[in-house]
């Protein structure tokens, strides 16, 4: 495509510092490659046997959601690559950018359950993987902030009804607040250990034992939250695509602000549910009372088995019986 054809086809994007239409094709390829990896994980999980079927089932739930989300995201970016209205393409890139980062985090969350299902002894690796997902989620939120702020700046610049500095501060403030809450959630386990240490020293009253966590329900909530977000993103993308080209010239400022805020705020609940659904070691969050009951039950079963067997027969007993018979026979003769 010559420069003259590009200018005729894309008059609004040629003179920008960043062209969303040109960037959509490689982003569609990235989403498609990630979807292919997820599909391969689904096939391996279904074809490989494991003793922990429950953990493998939780991994499959998240893998199904990640595959569908990344496949739809790839389609949205591919559709944007053929767009001829630059402002519509810019809006669609912002809408599709959220699902790309969100379902990548869902894919990593499924990886924790795969580790728990097939490598039960890798407890330390599972902890490091959870921390990596927390950092990845914070990085995705930061990228969403940059995408939303760049979108507002490119479409409205300094001519919007609200100052660009105010909008930028609001966007990055929401992102920093979300990252801060994520790190507080990451330190939650450390606070629990501190409470236990203070309780052991007698400086603090011991907290009552919590009930056992229902991990299946947590994964289900994460699954439905991801699907709900995907449905919202799909409907919003359909609205963006269906708006006539004439309505993008000029674009309404309220439409720009709503797009930026939706692209930034909508994935946050999905991140929260995904963080709550991350796999942990089997005994990490099990209450101490539950652990004591399981240990007592195992000890009781061992003692019962020993009682059922009875004392082991002595090797000397048959010999003594034989000697006694010989003596009795001799006395009779």
> What does the pLDDT read at residue 10?
43
What is the Cα–Cα distance from 309 to 306, expressed in whole angstroms? 5
Distance of alpha carbon 63 from its chain centroid, rounded?
10
Quick one: average pLDDT of 275-301?
57
Cis peptide before 130 (omega within 30 of 0): no
Domain ranges of the chain: 3-201+213-284
Question: What pLDDT digit, counting tens, does each position of 236-266 carry?
Answer: 999 999 988 888 888 888 889 999 988 988 9
Q: Does the pLDDT of residue 53 top 50, yes or no?
A: yes
- Integer angstrom CA distances of residue 40 from 34, 47, 83: 10, 11, 31
Q: How far apart are CA 313 and CA 287, in angstroms?
A: 42
Per-residue CA distances from 288 to 63, 196, 283, 284 (Å): 32, 11, 9, 10
pLDDT value for 310: 52
Average pLDDT, stretch 314-324? 54
Question: 176-211: per-residue pLDDT in tens?
Answer: 888 887 777 667 655 665 566 556 665 555 444 445
Residues contacting 136, CB < 8 A, separation 6+: 104, 105, 108
pLDDT at 183: 74
Angle at 64 between CA 28 and CA 217, to 5 degrees: 135
Q: Which whole number is the average pLDDT over 209-216?
A: 66
* Burial tier of 106 (Cβ tally within 10 Å: 0-12, 13-18, 19+): buried
The lowest-confidence range among 28-42, 66-80, 233-247 is 233-247
Look at residue 186 in the predicted model and tell me its pLDDT: 63
């Amino acid at each position: 495509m010559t420069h003259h054809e590009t200018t005729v086809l894309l008059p609004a994007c040629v003179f920008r510092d960043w062209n969303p239409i040109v960037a959509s094709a490689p982003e569609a390829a990235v989403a498609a490659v990630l979807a292919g990896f997820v599909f391969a994980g689904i096939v391996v999980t279904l074809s490989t046997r494991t003793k922990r079927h429950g953990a493998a089932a939780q991994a499959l739930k998240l893998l199904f959601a990640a595959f569908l989300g990344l496949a739809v995201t790839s389609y949205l970016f591919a559709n944007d690559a053929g767009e001829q209205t630059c402002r519509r393409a810019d809006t669609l890139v912002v809408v599709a950018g959220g699902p790309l980062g969100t379902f990548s985090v869902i894919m990593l969350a499924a990886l924790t359950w795969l580790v728990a299902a097939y490598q039960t002894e890798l407890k330390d690796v599972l902890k490091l993987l959870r921390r990596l997902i927390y950092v990845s989620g914070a990085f995705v939120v930061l990228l969403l902030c940059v995408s939303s702020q760049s979108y507002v700046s490119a479409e409205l610049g300094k001519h919007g009804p609200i100052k660009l500095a105010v909008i930028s501060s609001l966007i990055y403030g929401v992102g920093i607040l979300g990252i801060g809450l994520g790190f507080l959630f990451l330190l939650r386990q450390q606070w629990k250990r501190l409470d236990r240490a203070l309780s052991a020293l007698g400086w603090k009253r011991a907290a009552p034992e919590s009930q056992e966590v229902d991990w299946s329900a947590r994964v289900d909530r994460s699954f439905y939250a991801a699907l709900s977000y995907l449905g919202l993103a799909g409907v919003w993308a359909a609205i963006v695509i269906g708006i006539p080209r004439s309505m993008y010239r000029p674009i309404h400022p309220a439409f720009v602000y709503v797009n930026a805020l939706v692209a930034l705020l909508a994935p946050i609940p999905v991140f929260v549910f995904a963080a709550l659904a991350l796999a942990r070691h089997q005994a990490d969050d099990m209450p101490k009372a539950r652990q004591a009951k399981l240990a007592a039950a195992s000890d009781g079963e061992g003692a019962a088995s020993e009682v059922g067997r009875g004392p082991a027969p002595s090797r000397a007993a048959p010999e003594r019986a034989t000697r006694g018979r010989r003596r009795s026979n001799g006395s009779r003769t």
